[in-house]
Structure formats: C-alpha cells, structure tokens
Amino acid sequence: EDKVVQSPLSLVVHEGDTVTLNCSYEVTNFRSLLWYKQEKKAPTFLFMLTSSGIEKKSGRLSSILDNKELFSILNITATQTGDSAVYLCAVSPRNQGGKLIFGQGTELSVKP
Amino acid sequence: DVKVTQSSRYLVKRTGEKVFLECVQDMDHENMFWYRQDPGLGLRLIYFSYDVKMKEKGDIPEGYSVSREKKERFSLILESASTNQTSMYLCASSFLGALGYGYTFGSGTRLTVV
C-alpha cells in the first residue's frame, strides 16, 4: 500500500531557529514529491522534486529528495512567525490519474 | 487569478441529512479531486474525476458519492450524513498530465454533523 509519513507531527520553535521537516515514502511508480504550506485555508505550493540530490530553493526555504532512501527534507532557516503553518508532503505516482498521496502534515509554530 | 471555489466555508448538518458540497474551478482543468483532512491523518482522497461524467474512487469513498455534469463543477454528496463525517473537505483541480505542481486547492469546507 502506498504510504507517505511525515515527522515530526508538530514542532514549536523560536524566531531565528532553523527547522528540518522530514517526509518518507513508499510508493509504487514514483513520479514526483511535493511540499505545500497550509495556513488555515487552501494549501499553497512550495516545491516539486523529481530528481534525487538536486536542491530546490526559495528564499529561506529549501528542499531535497533522496529517491534511493525514499525521503525528502524541507529546511526553513531563520524562521519567522509567518512561517507558522501546517506543512504537507505529498507524492504523485505515475498512472494514477494525477492523484496525490499525502502525509499527515507537520504543524509548525514559530514563537516570537 | 486562477480559482477553485467551494460554496460554503462552514456547514452544520444533522445526522441523516443529505449534504451537497460544491466545487467550481475557472481554469478549464480536466482533473478534479475531493479530499478530507483530519488531524493526524492528513489529506485522504475520497473521489476524483478526470473528465465530465467520469469518476474514480479514492481511498475512502464509503458514504460518499460525486457528480460531475460540467467540466468546471465537481460535487461531493453525503447520502446520509453521520458524525464520523465531521471533517474539513478540500476540493482541488489540476490539468491533465500535471506532475502535481499544477494542483490548485479550494479554501475548504468545514463540515460538522450533529
């Protein structure tokens, strides 16, 4: 059975800290892995990863995929209160109509 | 700005009622999806559709049905609402062949069944 597991499920840090969120997966016919940020409303797209070892970066956020060990990490440096959100990891398998398989999400709370 | 619109943000219904959750997208996307989101469980796929009048069961279709009569509209139907269907429901759409980055989500409907 296809599965995506995120850890930790919740995390509390202070502004300026660096955090690492983890996502492991067991999916038949892997195509891509995606990260979303959700703040009390619709999830918004952060990154899509398809190739192992290539880092994607956007400002203070970065992510990398290891498709041999079947995991991805999302790093946030110099955290701000505006980073407080639920971070969702999802995998898109091939030949399944475009559906995504989501992990449980990591709830990040950044305190001032 | 592209949009997926869910008709209600909050909804309270009684056990046994028939409930309709509506989702409309304005991007001419082929794919549309219904997920429910529960704490500790993440998003789980209920049903999806990749064309008008086409539907496919997701991972948790029991107690739900869907309707897609027009390309832009995908409705989720709870035939007889039960308290274990209290949840956040998220609709999404994507173009055919998207690798996943093409997903656009609605803002969600928080349904409470009493």
The percent of residues in chain B predicted with pLDDT above 90, rounded, is 74
Which residues of chain B have a CB within 8 Å of the CB of A45? Answer: 101, 103
Given this model, what pLDDT does residue B99 score? Answer: 57
In this predicted model, what pLDDT tens digit does every residue of A50-81 receive, in sequence order? 888 889 999 999 999 998 889 999 999 999 99
Residue B100 to residue A98, Cβ atoms within 8 A = yes
State which of A38-42, A95-99, B109-113 shows the largest mean pLDDT: B109-113
CA dihedral of residues A43, A45, A48, A53 (deg, nearest 10): -90
Instruction: Pick the residue from chain B with its C-alpha nearest to A36.
Output: B101
B35 contacts A102? CB cut-off 8 A: yes
- What confidence score (pLDDT) does residue A89 get? 96
* pLDDT > 70? residue B98: no
pLDDT classification of B101: cutoffs 50, 70, 90: low
3-state secondary structure of B14: coil
Residue A106 pairs in a beta bridge with A87
Summarize the confidence of residues A1-16 as an average pLDDT: 95
What is the 8-class DSSP label of residue A25?
Answer: E
Mind listing the pLDDT tens digit for each residue in B10-59? 999 999 999 999 999 998 888 999 999 998 899 999 999 988 988 999 99
- Tokens representing A10 are 């919740």
What string of DSSP letters covers A73-109?
EEEE-S--GGG-EEEEEEEEETTSTT--EE---EEEE
Instruction: Please state, in angstroms and rounded to a whole number, the distance separating the CA atoms of residues A50 and A39.
Output: 25
Q: Which amino acid is at A25?
A: Y
- Dist. CA B5–CA A45, nearest whole Å: 17
Of residues A40 and A37, more confidently modeled: A37
Is B55 an 8 Å CB contact of chain A?
Answer: no
CB B14 within 8 A of CB B82: no
What are A13-24's pLDDT values in tens digits? Answer: 999 999 999 999
pLDDT tens for A73-88 read 999 999 999 999 999 9
| Interatomic CA distance for residues A79 and A85, integer angstroms | 12
Chain B residue with CA closest to A92: the answer is B100
Find, in chain A, the residue whose alpha carbon is nearest to that of B6: A42
Among the listed residues B65, B82, B64, B62, the one whose alpha carbon sits nearest the alpha carbon of residue B15: B82
Read out DSSP for B36-96? EEETTTEEEEEEEESSTT--EE-S--TTEEEEEEETTEEEEEESS--GGG-EEEEEEEE-T
Whether the pLDDT of residue A39 is over 70: the answer is yes
Please state the separation of Cα B28 from the chain's center in Å. 17
- pLDDT-based confidence at A96, cuts 50/70/90? confident
pLDDT at A98 over 90: no
> Which residue in B42, B97, B108 is closest to A41 by CB distance?
B108
Q: Which residues of A touch B44 (CB under 8 A)?
A: 102
